[in-house]
Amino acid sequence: MQILNLLASAAFAATVSGFNTDVHNQIGFMAEKFLTHETANILERILEPQYTKSIGRAAAWADAYRKEPGGEFSYQWHWIDSLDTPPSVCNTYYNRDCTKGGCIVSAIANQSMILRDCIKDAKAHKLTQGTNLTCSYALKWVVHFTSDLAQPLHTSNLGEGGNAFKVSYGGKTNNSVLHSIWDGAIIYSRANKTSFSNQTIDPYFEDLVKRIKADNFFEPTDKWTACTDPATPVACAMEWAKDSNIWNCDYIYSQDFTAPDLKTSGYFEGAYPIVELQMSKAALRLGTYLNNLVAGKYDKEREVLLRTNPAWKEEL
């Protein structure tokens, strides 16, 4: 069992992607709509100039970086390997599922602590124009991982996070797996697009922002930010992970994903409201979390537990 878990993690690392690049950009653009003026001003001092003051344009960086020489260590930071059994049982636990080398939860916590100190330097005008790459990287990781954590299959070990399950969607079967459908295909179908801009927010995502502000979702928006305290990043990221994880039981694996075409079988109709909900949660949480970091709304003396107790142990 230990060996199987290790192999599953390795396979997931080789195939994980997260929301598609342009979708990450759009979630970042959405989050910008919830930033205070002070937050936006501080964050633009931390980002490198090529992002032109926009966390949206920087939101997909982490996916490219994990493929670069020297960036491979961050591969497994994009998910948490929940050892549950959807669709019968869905749960995720930090000490069980955040394995050696870290996971998306510990990465958010670690990078939040780095970002906290970077914000202090930016406020003191010791940091401008993204001159400290450690700081810029921390910000870009927090932005990216908040979105990744909203994609339910990033909180599931089953089938390598859905990458092992080949599916058919829109008449296409080549290179289609369940994970990729939730990364982009469902969103593109809903918006009637094949891609989105990586420079400005798309009208489809503008509409989601309006819906957030109008509290027009099947879950009340005030619950989405119940935990956005930078003093407890592990606890909050775990709450977000559990919130995503439940969809693996409530929809993703409880519906027939082996149908001849998921776009026309009815799977898409039930899936797109969930995707819209999760993307919107990510945007509002990210904006709120960054505002709290910049405003200093946390216990500055509180220690953060970053140690993991993996479910498996290395053989002696």
The model's pLDDT over 209-246, given as tens digits with 9 standing for 90+, comes to 999 999 999 999 999 999 999 999 999 999 999 999 99
Q: What is the mean pLDDT of residues 164-191?
A: 92
What is the separation, in whole angstroms, between the first and last Cα of the chain? 16
Per-residue confidence at 8, pLDDT binned at 50, 70, 90? Answer: very low
What pLDDT does residue 311 have?
Answer: 47
HSE value, Cβ hemisphere, 13 Å, CA-based, for 253: 23
What pLDDT does residue 297 have?
Answer: 79
The model's pLDDT over 239-284, given as tens digits with 9 standing for 90+, comes to 999 999 999 999 999 999 999 999 999 999 999 999 999 999 999 9
- The set of residues, in sequence order, having a beta carbon less than 8 Å from that of 193 and lying 6+ positions away, is 202, 204
pLDDT for residue 312 is more than 60:
no
pLDDT for residue 1 is more than 60:
no
Q: Which residues face 172 on adjacent strands? A: 169
Distance between CA atoms of residues 236 and 240, nearest Å: 6
Per-residue confidence at 171, pLDDT binned at 50, 70, 90? Answer: confident
Residues of the chain with pLDDT > 70, as a percent, come to: 88
Domain assignments of the chain as residue spans, ordered by start: 2-295
313 conformational bin, left if phi > 0, alpha if psi -120 to 50, beta if neither? beta
Burial class, 244, CB count within 10 angstroms (exposed 0-12 / middle 13-18 / buried 19+): buried
Distance between CA atoms of residues 5 and 185, nearest Å: 28
The model's pLDDT over 112-143, given as tens digits with 9 standing for 90+, comes to 999 999 999 999 999 999 999 999 999 999 99
Distance between CA atoms of residues 237 and 93, nearest Å: 11
Cis peptide before 87 (omega within 30 of 0): yes
Cα angle 237, 213, 39 (rounded to 5 degrees) comes to: 60
Distance between CA atoms of residues 7 and 13, nearest Å: 10
Residues 2-295, CATH architecture: Orthogonal Bundle (1.10)
Least confident range of 263-272, 286-295, 296-305: 296-305
